[in-house]
Structures are given as structure tokens and as C-alpha cells.
Structure 1
């Protein structure tokens, strides 16, 4: 038996779930178009602990979405997860954000391409088959009319995530299917974190860092005239 707290903050969806053996017992999430993680994350954690009457000390592990995604969002989620692990001496499990997002849909055949918005026409993406096996590495790429041409020629491709929305007008192949309103969620993390827990696939709490994929760049503010 394993009770795991799952934390997802890689995108605008602030999401927390508590699961036992991969089955979600309680979940809280908010995707209001803003990054509200700093205000909502810790209250959400406390709410689901209160709802399930489970104490933090009774957790078997804490899982966190590792990225790629929002730099600030990832920092908030990872900091919270590491803080709980340090305070209560719990193992830390990391889940790739795109892998978790791929599990938001189920298809009998074809490919699943989860996409996260990386500004302008750039996205973070990976390619998975219908069994959720990753068949192409995670990339930061600029989308044009030739993107995923090889995959689309072979059969149906299902695009999802906030990065997919802006690609609809560019990826117009007949085999391109766009799934709306799907974001990385702590709901899909539950099964993935339990699988890792059973394998003792855990992180070094002291040295673990999010997977940013790209370096964080600070844009200087324009001087007022």
C-alpha cells in the first residue's frame, strides 16, 4: 500500500492529488488562465489532506511534475515537494510533464503528441504511441507546416495541451487531430508515481532540479521615457 501526494505546477493548471496505490482519493486543481500556484498550492495540499483525514507524516512519498514547462511554476512545485520530503523524511518521485499529459487521452491506434506552450510558435513536445511508450525525445521546437510530417503521413496523430491550440492553423494535415482543454494534471500523475514508487525510482531530494529544457532568460524592462 502506498499513499502518494502528487503535485503538478508546470503550466497554468495548479493541481494536487492524493492517491493510494495509483487510485485518486482527492484532487484539487485550478486553471483560471493565471499562474496562481503561489497562492493556491499549499491550501490545496492542506484541503485534500483534511478531506482524506491523512496526515502528512502518513504519506509514503511525494511526487512532482519535473517539466518541461513554466520556469516559475516548476520552481514553486519542486520547492513545495522538496520541503515536504525534507520535513517528513519522505522519498521524492519525479514525473515527466509530457508523459503525464499523454495519459490524459486514450486512443486505440495512432500517435499522441502532448505539447506545452513555449511562447510564439515554439512548443515543448514529445511523441508517444497508443501504449504511451515514448518514441521520440522531448524537444523545444518551432512549429511550421512541415512539423510532424513523417508521423502524419503514417496515420492519425493526436495533439493536446496548451501548445497544441496555437498549432491548429499550421498543422492542417488530414491526420492531425486536436484535443481541446487538456492540461497536465495531478490526476494522471497518480498511476505514474505509483509505478515509480514500486520500482524505488526516486530522486535525491538535496540535488534534484526541474527539467527546464531551455535556459531561463530574463527580459530587461524597457526604460521609461
Structure 2
């Protein structure tokens, strides 16, 4: 299912006035599509991702996730939409230090209310897909930066999200590891058929379907990167 933002505006207090972070932003990301979002620091990239992840409520506009108008949803429904339809990958993997790679995924299933044998099997399959079968029993301190990010990708896919959002997932990695993580993210997003948006300073690493740029609160399309 797609992600749609329609005429979204976000403002924040700025002294006695207000500053517009997002200015009537409209965009759509289709299932299986991978969109790169670029822009200077402070341009509103992270705010746009937070709105899409239903972590921030805009002053105006509509956000539709998995066919549901989240703008009219209450807190409980928004939480349910996030839990069942949205996967988020952060700049740093934000893993629980006491849990193994496998347990990180199990926890996601537990929070979603379905930690059963099928979920345990899916966790092992995802860790295999991201090349971490042999590291499934390792804790974050025992993993490299790239391995932790791969756990983060697998965890975000654990709930079979309709929408996958990533906020500069390679920011802390060198270029070689960054390219590998971006390729893996694109591969897994396409395989899952998730509507995917990735905030990145290096869109060429992602080989995205489209590249969007945000400046002065407005989003524009830079290029269609591939068919």
C-alpha cells in the first residue's frame, strides 16, 4: 500500500513569530517504490520523515498510510498504524544493548502481539537475508557498525510494513559499508513491496526510483533514477 502526503504544513514557534518547516508538501510513494529525499541540514528532511511515520501531527494536510487517513485518527489508531504498517530505520540502529540480534526482532513481534513460531522463523529468515545468520546470537557491542545497521533493517521489516522509512541510515558508516547497506535496503524494500522513503546525502548510493529535494519547506523532484 502507498504512502501519501497531501498539502502538509508544519510550523514551529520562532521568537514572537512562526517558522514554516514544511510548506504545503504533497507527495506519494507507491508500493515497491524507493524514493531518496535530499536537502541541506535544517531543510526539513527529518520533520518530513517524522510526519510520514506518524510521530508528528502537522498543522494542516492529510497523511494516508495503508489506505487509512491518519490525519483524522486518534492517538490509539495512529499507534496501531505505526505498529502494523510502518517500519523505521534510524541513523544509528538504536538496538537494545542486552538483546541479541535475534532477540531484537523477537521483541518487535512481541510488541506487535504475535511472537509465535511463525514470527521466530521469520526473524531467522530476515537475519539470513541480511547476512547475519552466524551473528544472530551476538549482542550490539559484539557487532560492527554495518552489522548493527543490518539488524536495524531486518527489525524494520519484521512486521511486514506497508511503509518503510529510513533517516540517513549510512551516516555513521564509511562509503563502502554505506553502499552495501543502501543496496541491501533497496533489495529488501523491493522484495517486501514496501513504499520506501530514505533521507540521504548520497542518493546515488541508493539507486532510487526517484530523487526528491526539500528546500525552504517545499519538495521538488530532481530526477527519475530508473524505469
What TM-score do you get using the length of structure 1 for normalisation?
0.25
What TM-score do you get using the length of structure 2 for normalisation?
0.25
Higher helix share: 2
